[in-house]
A and B are shown apart, each in its own frame.
Chain A
Amino acid sequence: MRSDGLRVLAVIERDLKKFRRNPLVIAMSVLLPLIYLVILGHSFQGKLQALPLVVANLDSGPYSRNVMDNLRAVEAGPKTFSLVIVGNEKDAIDGIRRGKYKAGLIIPPDFSKRVALKGRPEVGLFLDNTDGISSEAVKNAVMGGLRSIRSDYVSIRDKSDEILLRDITLYKQVDYYESLVPGVVIMAIFLGTLTTGAFNIVMDRFLGVDESYLLTPLSKSDIVAGLIISGLFITTIIAVVILAVSMLMTGIHFSRSPQQFASILLIIILTTLCLLSLMFVILGRINHPRVVGILSGFLNVILFFPSGAVYPIASFPQWLKTFAKINPEAYAVDALKGLLFKGADLASIATDIAFLLVFTMVMMTTAIMTFRRTL
């Protein structure tokens, strides 16, 4: 007797058997959500700490020393910022422009005098406002430090003696929506590099057509370099289109100097090369597209969220900060933010460029070395 209703059981059994025989898929479907938990849990809304604050204290009076003591108390206590002391205003502002510091506090020469003489004392706080979350946090912490001066020393005075914190934004205001654009471009590059380059090798292996070119005189470096260059071409176009569209969508204004365009293109190209060679190292010996699917989720979560694209790196716990130091996407995001929002020149993103270059060279060499030219 035929029992037609039970045919569905065969479908179920087939599927379950296939699942059971793929240990990597099982492991990753358990691990991936947990990795999301750990990475996302530590890369959003964490307490911002150790934001670099540069201070130029031009006053030698007692009250400025008091301000400094209070700032050191914040540095030691809530650790919102870490202090760097410089001798003049220019060094401070240049440092912020070069991305070294998140904010700069300038205590003018007549500060103590004004406090003593009730002469409306004021300090200047220069902010890197392209990172709204960080600059807001520094500003609040500095304000806290100044308030306690008033309560200790200025408490009996009337309200007109309050220290005025004049905050000066160095750049055009960047809202959160706009601030995501560099991250979106990096995401486009990530996806582009995942589906070109080494992925072609994975598919060729999967379809069994890799024999056709392994049998020819093509060398390892012919194959690796060829696929990286074609992947670079495709991914660069995608990234530029995504950049243009997302700038239109968010309304980012951008100085249209050819140099700026060239610098942005350079970063896009470098990041693409960097990720393409990384993918070659990771996917170099994989022979099933399913693995690429699993890895894409994994790589995206460990590269993208700790890159500073969605939330400042300063809010990460130490281990995640350390990871961000070797995460190429973090350098790419930093460089693009500098170019898009601060009008940075190449010199101020030299560290980013240097890291991306070194990373690319190391990965490319590893890719060629580990690529197997045999079946």
Chain B
Amino acid sequence: MLQRNKAVEVSGITKRFGSLIAVDNVSFDVMEGEIFGFLGPNGAGKTTLIRMLTTLIKPTSGEATVGCCDVTKQPAAVRREIGVVPQAMTSDLDLTGFENMDIYARFYGISSKERKDRIPYLLETVGLSARANELVAAYSGGMRRRLEIARVLVHRPKILFLDEPTIGLDPQSRRVVWDFLRKLMEEASITIFITTHYMEEAEMLCSRVAIIDSGRIVVIGSPKELKSQIPGNDIVSLAVENLTDILVDRVNHLPFVHKVNTEDGNVRIYVDHGAQDLPLLIDEVKSSGGKVLSATVHEQSLEDVFIHYTGKSIREEEGKKVSFLVGAGIPQKWGR
């Protein structure tokens, strides 16, 4: 394989908001031309991290180089090289799709000639040509998301950051976005950095994934590598009545079982051939005094990698604390 350059180089980056450590000593590299994913539950620090890398907030400590330059020392130079699709929809509702693109392009000082060529092409690419002259207020969520993506490509960024690019989209729109991103990476050889809490998205899209939990990187690798680190191929999940430690221990000692863990009355059993092993497992539970209420068998996914490394499933993080002045409109320094 060709020697590739680093597009993003992060070392020991940390962000504190008061006593909360949103991002805790995170280091990683992203190579040019790859789709790098940050996978983690809501509240894990993904957005804070992306905001530091895109110059929107200053790190408390640590360093990050994005494209040519250091994000704290030369933020303006970094901004010229990157395109960012934030999690929130940021198109101006009072302007049309075309006007949004045009004004944004002028923020980068792109000539009117180039704008005339590039904007209709990008709108066509994301399938918004027919609605280009309507106010964005009349767009659906999916259309607005596609406009956001088209908009950040207007200045031909070298590195594209997308924060939860498909959040709230229906499966069909999600697939459109994925195809588009993959095409971008292949044809325009753009480096893409995405954050997501959708396992499937990370698995489908990313060449490498960093799993992040509570502000820390748990593990980094390609989806394939990460999955290969978990014992077995399949996971059998059993909901069991009268679950006891003895029962778990007996299941764990079956010769074909690699690993067992429990979460809220559910037993997750790591095996090689789930469908084949399921009847044997049910029998074992029965003979140990338990009762199987339901059972599922699935192939290992990144979700299981996450559970393997963090001991919990990707869950909704409990709500963040809010400064008492928030409703009064005083800006609060709190990460999302």
Contacts and interface: CB of A to CB of B under 8 A. Distances in A.
Interface of A: 18, 21-25, 202, 205-219, 285-291, 374-375
A287 B104 CA distance: 22
Contact of A208 (B90, B325, B331): B90
Given A286-B330, A291-B329, A23 B104 contact: no
B331 A286 contact: yes
Interface in B89-115: 89-93, 104, 107-109
B75 to A, nearest CB: 8
Given A21-B324, A209-B89, A217-B76, 8 more contacts: A18-B327, A210-B90, A211-B90, A215-B55, A217-B108, A217-B109, A374-B55, A374-B58
B23 to A, nearest CB: 15
Contacts of A214: 56
B291 interface: no
Contacts of A210: 90
Nearest to A18: B327
Contacts of B86: 211-212, 215
B328 A215 contact: no
A24 B328 contact: yes
Contact of A212 (B79, B104, B328, B330): B104
Which of B54, B58, B104, B331 is packed against the most chain A CB atoms within 10 Å?
A: B331
B328 A22 contact: yes
Contacts of A25: 328
Contacts of A208: 88, 90
Contacts of B92: 209, 212
Nearest to A287: B331
A375 B79 contact: no
A209 B82 CA distance: 18
Interface in B36-71: 51, 54-58
Contacts, number: 82
A207 B88 CA distance: 9
Given A208-B88, A217-B107, A288 B56 contact: no
Contacts of A287: 329-331
14 contacts: A18-B327, A21-B327, A23-B328, A209-B89, A211-B56, A211-B86, A211-B88, A212-B91, A212-B92, A212-B151, A213-B107, A217-B79, A285-B330, A291-B329
B132 interface: no
Given A21-B327, A205-B331, A209-B92, A374 B57 contact: yes
B34 to A, nearest CB: 22
Given A286-B330, A287-B329, A216 B58 contact: no
Contacts of A213: 104, 107
Q: Which has the most chain B C-beta neighbours within 10 Å: A23, A206, A215, A291?
A: A215
A297 B86 CA distance: 35
A206 B324 CA distance: 17
B80 interface: yes
Contacts of A216: 79, 104, 107-108
B84 interface: yes
Contacts of B325: 23-24
Nearest to A206: B329
B330 A24 contact: yes
A291 B328 contact: yes
B287 to A, nearest CB: 50
Interface string B72-83: 000010011010
B328 A290 contact: yes
A223 to B, nearest CB: 10
Q: Which of A24, A205, A212, A375 has the most CB of B within 10 A?
A: A212
A24 B329 contact: yes
A370 to B, nearest CB: 12
Contact of A375 (B51, B89, B329): B51
Contact of A215 (B58, B84, B327, B331): B84
Nearest to A285: B331
B183 to A, nearest CB: 23
B90 A212 contact: yes
Contacts of B331: 205, 285-287
Contacts of B329: 24, 202, 206, 286-291
A217 B67 CA distance: 15
Contacts of A21: 324, 327
B56 A218 contact: no
Interface string B157-195: 000000000000000000000000000000000000000
A79 to B, nearest CB: 45
Given A209-B90, A209-B91, A212-B90, A219 B76 contact: yes
A23 B104 CA distance: 38
A374 B75 CA distance: 10
A210 B91 CA distance: 10
Interface string B308-329: 0000000000000000110111
A217 B80 contact: yes
Nearest to A372: B331
Nearest to A207: B93
B85 to A, nearest CB: 10
Nearest to A219: B76
Q: Most chain-A Cβ atoms within 10 A of its Cβ — which of B56, B80, B328?
A: B328
Nearest to A295: B329
B7 to A, nearest CB: 17
A207 B137 CA distance: 13
Contact of B328 (A217, A288, A374, A375): A288
B71 to A, nearest CB: 11
Contacts of A291: 328-330
A287 B51 CA distance: 18
A21 B90 CA distance: 28
Given A215-B84, A216-B108, A23 B324 contact: yes
